[in-house]
Structure 1
Amino acid sequence: MKKIALYAAALTLTAGSAIAADLPSHKAPPPYIPPPPIMTWTGFYAGLNLGGGFYDSNSSNWGWNNGNNNTGGVIGGGQIGYNFQVTPMFVVGAETDFQGTSLGSGGNNNNGWLFGFGGGAGSARLNWFGTVRGRVGITLLSPQLLVYGTGGFAYGEVQRNGWWNQNSAVQTGWTAGGGAEWMFFPNWSAKVEYLYTQISGTGNNDNWLWAFNPGWGLNSTNNRTRFHTIRAGINYHFNFGSPVPVLAKY
């Protein structure tokens, strides 16, 4: 009888273990950890900038030569653009910006001539300007750091202040420069940029009233406005227009 009881107990334990092994496990699955976002410069962006600038020493405005009056001022505005990351190291894009400025040259060396005598000191101001530029850059040292060159079309309003009136005209030309941009946080970047800009146009220099010239009349001059700008900015990069990361299925 003892042997039969032992055999029965052993059989019961074995069957219980088998049944327990067939029961579903109530252990929780490991938590899902999403993959890190893909670092890319591709997509639309928009931002603000602030900086300073000054006229080039050989800039001339409506018959007055700027001489050595490299009078500077503050610039500020906004920009929008689009980047496309061709390879992990190569980025191309386009950007347009619009700036308000306080750039202006004094009249110490800006004298007109009235009946052959010096006079008519004035000043030239750049009220605003904008650009439409291409950008070509490479990522150096880190995927978050983009070093780029840029150049394209420029336009702006130049105002000439004289003795008795003001003249203003929208001039067009070109701009070129470069900069560096750092993606310091997802969707956010900061940049520093330099641009050299030259715009020009023809306008009546009414401040040369009856100036001493062969026509004894108003003088029409072709003038060039050349200036340098250095600015810092911040951009927000939108998700649309950039590739969506592919998540693994479980």
Structure 2
Amino acid sequence: MKKQILAMTVLAAATAATAASAADLPRNNYYSQPAQGTYYNWAGWYAGAVVGYQWGDVPGTNTKPSGILGGLTGGYNWQSGQFVFGGETDLQISGADDTFAPYKFSNPWFGTLRGRAGMAWNNVLIYLTGGIAYGGLKGESGALSETKTHIGWTLGTGVEFGLAQQWSAKIEYLYADLSNRTYSITGVGNGLETSMIRVGVNYRF
């Protein structure tokens, strides 16, 4: 899992570097007058939607839940020159599940509450994000099933592109670790370690 995190972080960094180079190309004239070295205004409230794919594993079993996810997100940005920082929250449903006899584990929903900080080059924002993760984990074995809510942490990176002053699109990688809780069907502590790639759009108010 650590190798996956490193690989995805390197990939995100490479994407970010490409985006930063692209930001130096001439832009359409619908952006506002430059202010403190940047054209695009990232400050303010926003809300949007994300879709993506999730994969991971449940420690203590051989199950590796994976599947499509989707949900809603919202947050607020402050901007000082090129530096952009703020907070974001999201809530998603997920189809991630896996069966490895005698167990089946699934992650039907999860959410995060995170800080974000990054640098903007005109309408390209490269950022790091991290904070609290929480979600449901359902374990099944034969006719027995248990569902518990887990709390943990998340860390990730992403690139967001301003399409027009009120619209932006992003691609983001997150790693989340939902801490162990004891399940009677396994007799040990089980949690969820999961990675996800998400794409989304935001509307700025």
Residue pair 2:183, 2:190 contacting (<8 A) in 1 also: no
* Equivalence for 2:202: 235
* Equivalence for 2:88: 95
Shift of 1:190: 0.2
* Equivalence for 1:79: 73
Q: Could you tell me how far apart the structure 2 residues matched to 1:200 and 1:103 are? A: 17
Residue pair 1:169, 1:203 contacting (<8 A) in 2 also: no
Residue pair 2:181, 2:190 contacting (<8 A) in 1 also: yes
* Equivalence for 2:54: 53
Higher-Rg structure is 1
Question: For residues 36 and 159 of structure 1, do their structure 2 counterparts lie closer, same or farther at Cα, with a shift above 3 Å needed?
Answer: closer
Q: Could you tell me how far apart the structure 2 residues matched to 1:192 and 1:132 are? A: 18
Q: 2:164 aligns with which of 185, 200, 208?
A: 185
Residue pair 2:65, 2:105 contacting (<8 A) in 1 also: no
* Equivalence for 2:103: 122
Q: Could you tell me how far apart the structure 2 residues matched to 1:199 and 1:100 are? A: 16
Shift of 1:36: 6.2
RMSD: 1.7
- Per-residue Cα deviation, 1:120-145 (whole angstroms, up to 9, x for no partner): x01100010000000011013xx100
* Equivalence for 2:22: none
Q: Which runs of 5+ in 1 are unaligned?
A: 1-34, 109-120, 209-218, 239-250
Question: For residues 36 and 103 of structure 1, do their structure 2 counterparts lie closer, same or farther at Cα, with a shift above 3 Å needed?
Answer: closer
* SS of 2:54 mapped into structure 1: strand
Q: 2:118 aligns with which of 137, 153, 178?
A: 137
Task: Please report the TM-score for the alignment, with normalisation by the length of structure 2.
Answer: 0.78
Residue pair 1:55, 1:104 contacting (<8 A) in 2 also: no
Residue pair 2:52, 2:197 contacting (<8 A) in 1 also: yes
* 2:135 matches 1:168: no
Q: Which runs of 5+ in 2 are unaligned?
A: 1-29, 34-39
Q: Could you tell me how far apart the structure 1 residues matched to 2:42 and 2:134 are? A: 28
* 2:61 matches 1:65: yes
Residue type at the aligned position of 2:49: L
Task: Please report the TM-score for the alignment, with normalisation by the length of structure 1.
Answer: 0.64
Shift of 1:222: 2.1
Q: Percent same amino acid at aligned positions?
A: 35
* SS of 2:127 mapped into structure 1: strand
Shift of 1:227: 0.5
Q: Could you tell me how far apart the structure 2 residues matched to 1:179 and 1:187 are? A: 19
Shift of 1:81: 0.2
* 2:189 matches 1:198: no
